[in-house]
Copies of this chain bind each other. A is one copy, B any other.
Amino acid sequence: MQARDLQTDGKGRLKHFLCIEGLPRALLLDILDAAESFAGVGERAVKKVPLMRGKTIANLFFEASTRTRTTFELAAKRLSADVLNLNIQASSTSKGESLLDTLRTLEAMHCDMFVVRHGMSGAAHLIASHVADEVRVINAGDGRHEHPTQALLDCFTIRRATGAWAERGSSSLVIAIVGDVLHSRVARSDIHAFNTLGVGELRVVGPKTLLPNAVETLGVHVFHDPEAGLCDADVIIMLRLQNERMQGALLPSALEYFKTYGLTPARLLRAKPDVVVMHPGPINRGVEIDSAVADGSQSLILEQVRYGIAVRMAVMSMAMGSLPRTRPPRSMRDD
């Protein structure tokens, strides 16, 4: 997919944000540092900065998502941008207009940025490879491929909680990602991010039916036994179990899954005493996580949501060139 070429400009600055794979470590750290500066905005009485005032951001959600769309919408509004929420199902694509014609139309309306969620892996890349030079594309989740802003907010949350990657050094943390890695774009993005930033040990934990073939080649240790997989972990990331997996060929039942892999207080004792627990949400209580853990003192699940807005503000303003540099002169395509 040549994501690297698409994601940065000639000087290595962020242009589109499509996937973690291939992004250089220094750039990931730059985004985390920028997010740090936005983390306080949500705490202020006036939760707004004028960095993207007068910009138009179009949320193109081909898959329904209240949570992710809302965080992108809030991030855009707190950057003072104008936001268009486009219900793609109801739009001209139902009149037979092609995706690229829809994009060209939105470009002609001088949209500055597309935030794209699509069920097809590679959709954001496809769009980024066709948009005009001055338009920016942010991937808000494409098929089973990547969900890169989620991975970044996971890194940010871990950094805030543990001090990892704070001094730009590597980390000796043991991180365990538990559950349905096979169908999870969050897991794929997390694995790339943690390996790029550097960790002590990165583990995936789950039944064979929910782990990709040859997942070891991604640079992870594989555990099918949760007791072993959680042993001495510093960070546990629980993945959501999709309803459609809970019955049928891949799993016997939700209850069975919870018995074996669900994160309970007892199972949590296998990890380090100061372990932190994360989950991309929405959580299935009693399926992949026990309420006592989800609501417990070691849970960072709400911190992830909170930092998600700061991280998205950082990605959006850096891609737009609003943050560390002045925006390059717009290429006058047609005038």
With the chains together, A334 CA to B308 CA distance in Å?
A: 15
| Copy count, this protein chain | 3
Q: Does A335 contact B (CB under 8 A)?
A: yes
Given the interface contacts A74-B109, A283-B101, A306-B108, does A67 sit within 8 Å of B55 by beta carbon?
no
* Interface assignment of A11: CB less than 8 Å from any CB of chain B: no
Give the A interface residue count (CB, 8 A): 57
By a CB distance below 8 angstroms, the chain B residues around A73 are 84
Closest chain B residue to A65, Cβ basis: B92
A107 closest partner in B (C-beta): B302
Q: A110-B306, A285-B98, A309-B110 are in contact. Are A66 and B86 (CB under 8 A)?
A: yes
What string of 1s and 0s marks CB contacts (under 8 Å) between A67-104 and chain B?
A: 10011011001100010101100111001111001101
| Contact between chains at B70 and A84 (CB < 8 Å) | yes
A293 to chain B, nearest CB (A): 14
- Report the Cα distance A137→B10, complex, angstroms: 49
Which candidate, A23-31, A40-48, A197-205, A261-269, is the interface stretch facing chain B?
A: A40-48
Docked complex Cα distance between A302 and B102 (Å): 11
User: Is A284 interfacial (CB 8 A cutoff)?
Assistant: yes
* Docked CA distance A108–B310 (Å): 12
- Shortest beta-carbon distance from A96 to chain B in Å: 6
Report the nearest B residue to A322, measured CB to CB: B45
Q: For the complex, what is the distance from the CA of A274 to the CA of B71, rounded to whole Å?
A: 48
**Known contacts A54-B48, A55-B47, A56-B74: A334-B67 contact under CB 8 Å:** no
A135 to chain B, nearest CB (A): 13
A332 to chain B, nearest CB (A): 7
B96 touching A70 by the CB < 8 A rule? no
The reply on A36 being an interface residue by CB < 8 A is no
Shortest Cβ distance from A281 into B: residue: B105
Closest B-chain residue to A42, C-beta based? B110
Taking a contact as CB atoms under 8 Å apart, the answer to whether A110 and B47 are in contact is yes
Which B-chain residue is minimally distant from A105 (CB atoms)?
Answer: B305
Q: CB of A243 within 8 A of chain B?
A: yes
CB neighbours of A283 from chain B (8 A)? 97, 101
**CB of A169 within 8 Å of the partner chain:** no
* Contact status of A90 and B66, CB under 8 A, knowing A96-B243, A96-B282: yes
Beyond known contacts A43-B335, A70-B84: 7 more, CB 8 A cutoff: A47-B56, A56-B74, A67-B92, A67-B105, A73-B84, A74-B82, A104-B302
